[in-house]
Amino acid sequence: MTIAVGDSLPDVTLVKATPDGPEQVQSSEYFKGKTVALFSVPGAFTPTCSARHLPGYVEKADDLKAKGVDEIACTAVNDAFVLGAWKGANDADDVTMLADGNADFAEAVGLTMDGSGFGMGKRGQRYSMLVEDGVVKQLNVEAPGDFSVSSAEHMLGQM
């Protein structure tokens, strides 16, 4: 079942990419007590994710924070080392990278996709959500191959 507005996020282990290396975090603790603009990409270093999705959140970070967002986070079915390298390659200092290497979070929120046709296996769908104290306040899931409703610009327009 796909997560919906008003639902609490499931409690799973994610791996945060930090300058000191991977750090395991529980989603229940990470999202507790703050407002997070979360977006999911099918994969770091993939074309749309690198050219448009991540750069939009980097560019609009100050605008999102001015509207009450405490933290901007990106999740992908990649490991923390890949997400850390992607963060560095894109000067994405304002974005917390949350690795979902086994797709546990993607499965728990019901937003997986099959990227086998591209040699990518199971991945998380492209989406964004605004999460307040662990509860989904906005959810924007892209149709396959699209990029519009999960953008930083779209999220800002909803706030």
Contact 110, 15 (CB under 8 A): no
Dump pLDDT digits (tens) for 85-116.
Answer: 999 999 999 999 999 999 999 999 998 866 56
Name, in order, each residue with C-beta under 8 angstroms of 9's C-beta and a sequence gap of 6 or more: 3, 27, 28, 31, 109, 131, 134, 135, 136
Options 17, 49, 111, 155, the catalytic residue: 49
| Entry pTM | 0.92
Average pLDDT value for residue range 144-152: 87
Q: Specify whether 49 is catalytic.
A: yes
Q: What is the pLDDT of residue 47?
A: 63
Q: Which fold has domain 13-150?
A: Glutaredoxin (3.40.30)
pLDDT for the residue 51: 62
pLDDT per position as a tens digit, 18-69 = 989 899 999 999 999 999 999 999 887 776 656 678 889 999 999 999 999 9
d(CA 72, CA 122): 24
In this prediction, residue 144 has a pLDDT band, given cuts at 50, 70 and 90, of confident
- CA neighbor of 142 nearest in space, from 159, 157, 156, 155: 155
Give the closest residue to 102 by CA, choosing from 2, 30, 22, 12: 12
- Residue 28, helix vs strand vs coil: helix
Can you give the residue ranges of every domain in the chain?
A: 13-150
